[in-house]
Amino acid sequence: MRINTHLAHMNKAYLFAEIAAKVSEYTRQNPGREIIRLGIGDVTRPITPHVAEAFAQSAQAMSTPEGFHGYPPYEGYDFLLDAIIQAEYAPLGVSVGRDELFVSDGAKSDTGNLQELLAPDALVAVTDPVYPVYVDSNAMAGRLGAHTKDGYERLITLPCTAENGFVPSMPEQAVDVLYLCSPNNPTGTALTYDQLRPIVQWANEHGALIVFDAAYKAYITEQNVPHSIFEIEGARTCAIECCSFSKNAGFTGVRCAYTVIPRELVAQTGEGPVRLNDLWRRRSESRSNGVSYPVQRAAAASLDETGRAETKALVDGYLRNASVIREGLQAAGFTCYGGVNSPYVWLKTPEGLDSWGFFDRLLKEAQVVGTPGAGFGAAGEGYFRLTAFNTEENTKRAVERIALAKSKM
Ligand code: PLP
């Protein structure tokens, strides 16, 4: 048997496993100390009543001859495609066709799988820090070359730091794909219309594909931040957009997402132009049997009037936590970014502490768990991510504890 050596050579130290190991070692040595977790990006509030009702009713219907559903359509049921178009795109004045939408089990799967559209030697660019899935999926496919202490040989990384306002400068060399995430995980910052426009223009001029991860779009509160890359002129010829029900409707455990691939998105090949929409359809129909009927019914319920009101209340709750973190830590003397259009606050670690050093101090002195910025890429060094995914009470207590610990640092 010959195995995938690209997979075998991948960096083993998975960030959250390392954090979990440190926390469990601390707990073993300090039994009884209560830890507050503001680390992992998983939602904590239950799915809402209206959505749960649709979920339960359609699951029950599956036990009746009339309500039974077998394999779903590969790309999603029309009722969900139409609900997405009506609730998510029509209000933005963005026109999306049913045949441009692909429903799936998650934006992680979609952003990870989309690399299959690319040539085996395609050149990949990502922002740094980065949601690791974009890098890992390309590394497994052998596209990134050897892993060195500075990253991957064939990966273009675009630093996003306070110095450039967390807006990447476009690479000099031609790349085949650029992964963008806005609102961003982990920095919590979001690209404005003015910042995204030149990136779209660059992609069209250079024939690059943009994979735009909008998993956190429900958290946008500012008027100058687009909810979809397709609000930008020219995006239909260069971009794919991935969205999810995870962070707005609380579907991290239910699993449902969707991706938009415009008909105009075309690659020029030796055999003529090829539509990426056709390629993805072909790929999806071979690789997946779709998303279950009750899950799609639940997703659609989250998009109707009642569902939207419930979902907004969920998101508003997390946003309140984000502002408790941001304002509380700013008052304690931290420099903070994000947390306005996203559930993540990205803070500068105090003078003299790198991001893992700050992690250790917070765990020991405040019993609060966050995520070291360096775990998301070299440019994340010196930063630290806190998430709003906890109860209001725990969030307030965590901020008080961090402020107290800071006063002693
Ligand atoms: N994209 C980003 C940027 C994320 O942070 C996450 C989850 O944390 C996902 C996608 C995963 O979304 P899903 O739950 O739909 O797979």
pLDDT in tens, 289-344: 999 999 999 999 999 999 999 999 999 999 999 999 999 999 999 999 999 999 99
C-alpha of residue 231 to centroid of ligand 1, in Å: 22
C-alpha of residue 121 to centroid of ligand 1, in Å: 26
Domain boundary at 288, 304, 320, which?
304
Residue from 104, 131, 180, 258 whose mutation best tests the ligand 1 pocket (most atoms within 8 A of CB): 131
Q: Please indicate, yes or no, whether residues 72 and 107 belong to a single structural domain of this protein.
A: yes
Range of the domain at 288: 51-304
Q: Please indicate, yes or no, whether residues 74 and 142 belong to a single structural domain of this protein.
A: yes
Q: Please indicate, yes or no, whether residues 29 and 109 belong to a single structural domain of this protein.
A: no
- Say yes or no to pLDDT of 15 above 80: yes
**pLDDT reported for residue 10:** 85
- Say yes or no to pLDDT of 247 above 70: yes
C-alpha of residue 241 to centroid of ligand 1, in Å: 13
pLDDT band at 40 (very low <50, low <70, confident <90, very high): confident
Question: Per-residue pLDDT tens for 130-148?
Answer: 999 999 999 999 999 988 8
Q: Please indicate, yes or no, whether residues 283 and 385 belong to a single structural domain of this protein.
A: no
- Say yes or no to pLDDT of 26 above 80: yes
**pLDDT reported for residue 4:** 95
Question: Per-residue pLDDT tens for 188-226?
Answer: 999 999 999 999 999 999 999 999 999 999 999 999 999
- Per cent of the chain over pLDDT 90 is 94
Domain boundary at 304, 337, 361, which?
304
**pLDDT reported for residue 191:** 98
Number of domains in the chain: 2
Beta-bridged to residue 386, according to DSSP, are: 345
Q: Please indicate, yes or no, whether residues 185 and 331 belong to a single structural domain of this protein.
A: no
Which amino acid makes up residue 359? F
Query: Cβ–Cβ contacts within 10 Å for residue 370, how many?
Result: 26
Q: Please indicate, yes or no, whether residues 75 and 205 belong to a single structural domain of this protein.
A: yes
> Does residue 252 have its Cβ closer than 6 Å to ligand 1?
yes
- Say yes or no to pLDDT of 81 above 80: yes
Question: Per-residue pLDDT tens for 264-276?
Answer: 999 999 999 999 9
**pLDDT reported for residue 147:** 85
On average, the pLDDT of the chain sits at 96
Spatial separation of the C-alpha atoms in residues 365 and 368, rounded to whole Å: 8
C-alpha of residue 269 to centroid of ligand 1, in Å: 32
Q: Which residue puts its alpha carbon closest to atom 5 of ligand 1?
A: 185
Between strands 272-275 and 266-269, the pairing is antiparallel
Q: What average pLDDT score do residues 231-236 get?
A: 98
**pLDDT reported for residue 17:** 86
Q: Would you give the distance in Å from CA 108 to the centre of its chain? A: 7
Spatial separation of the C-alpha atoms in residues 190 and 199, rounded to whole Å: 14
Q: Which CATH number does the domain housing residue 125 bear?
A: 3.40.640.10
pLDDT band at 16 (very low <50, low <70, confident <90, very high): confident
**pLDDT reported for residue 13:** 61
Ligand 1: which atom is nearest the Cα of residue 131? 3
Q: What average pLDDT score do residues 242-255 get?
A: 98
Q: How big is the CA angle at 48 (ends 42 and 50), to the nearest 5 degrees?
A: 150
Q: Please indicate, yes or no, whether residues 194 and 92 belong to a single structural domain of this protein.
A: yes
* Buried residues in 121-156 as b, exposed as e (16+ CB within 10 A): ebbbbbbbbbbbbbbbbbbbbebbeeeeeebbebbb
Beta carbons of 198 and 173 less than 8 angstroms apart = no
**pLDDT reported for residue 311:** 97
Q: Please indicate, yes or no, whether residues 230 and 321 belong to a single structural domain of this protein.
A: no
**pLDDT reported for residue 38:** 96
C-alpha of residue 124 to centroid of ligand 1, in Å: 19
C-alpha of residue 406 to centroid of ligand 1, in Å: 31
Q: How far is CA 320 from CA 184, 334, 389, in A?
A: 18, 19, 10
Q: Please indicate, yes or no, whether residues 246 and 363 belong to a single structural domain of this protein.
A: no
Q: Would you give the distance in Å from CA 177 to the centre of its chain? A: 17
Q: Please indicate, yes or no, whether residues 258 and 140 belong to a single structural domain of this protein.
A: yes
> Does residue 244 have its Cβ closer than 6 Å to ligand 1?
yes
Q: What average pLDDT score do residues 345-350 get?
A: 97
pLDDT band at 14 (very low <50, low <70, confident <90, very high): confident
Sheet holding 209-213, edge to edge: 101-104, 257-260, 239-244, 209-213, 177-181, 124-128, 155-159
Domain boundary at 271, 286, 304, which?
304
Beta-bridged to residue 243, according to DSSP, are: 258
Residue from 44, 103, 181, 247 whose mutation best tests the ligand 1 pocket (most atoms within 8 A of CB): 247
**pLDDT reported for residue 107:** 98
DSSP assignment of 117-166: GS-TT--EEEEES--THHHHHHHHTT-S--EETTEETTEEEEE--GGGTT
> Does residue 108 have its Cβ closer than 6 Å to ligand 1?
yes
- Say yes or no to pLDDT of 12 above 80: no
> Does residue 241 have its Cβ closer than 6 Å to ligand 1?
no
Q: Which phi and psi angles does 145 have, rounded to 5°?
A: 75, -160
Q: What average pLDDT score do residues 355-370 get?
A: 97
Ligand 1: which atom is nearest the Cα of residue 41? 8
> Does residue 131 have its Cβ closer than 6 Å to ligand 1?
yes
Q: Please indicate, yes or no, whether residues 256 and 147 belong to a single structural domain of this protein.
A: yes
> Does residue 214 have its Cβ closer than 6 Å to ligand 1?
no
Q: How far is CA 323 from CA 46, 80, 249, 359, 365, in A?
A: 21, 33, 20, 21, 23
Ligand 1: which atom is nearest the Cα of residue 109? 16
C-alpha of residue 215 to centroid of ligand 1, in Å: 6
Spatial separation of the C-alpha atoms in residues 18 and 359, rounded to whole Å: 12
Q: Please indicate, yes or no, whether residues 232 and 333 belong to a single structural domain of this protein.
A: no
Residue from 40, 136, 185, 243 whose mutation best tests the ligand 1 pocket (most atoms within 8 A of CB): 185
C-alpha of residue 108 to centroid of ligand 1, in Å: 5
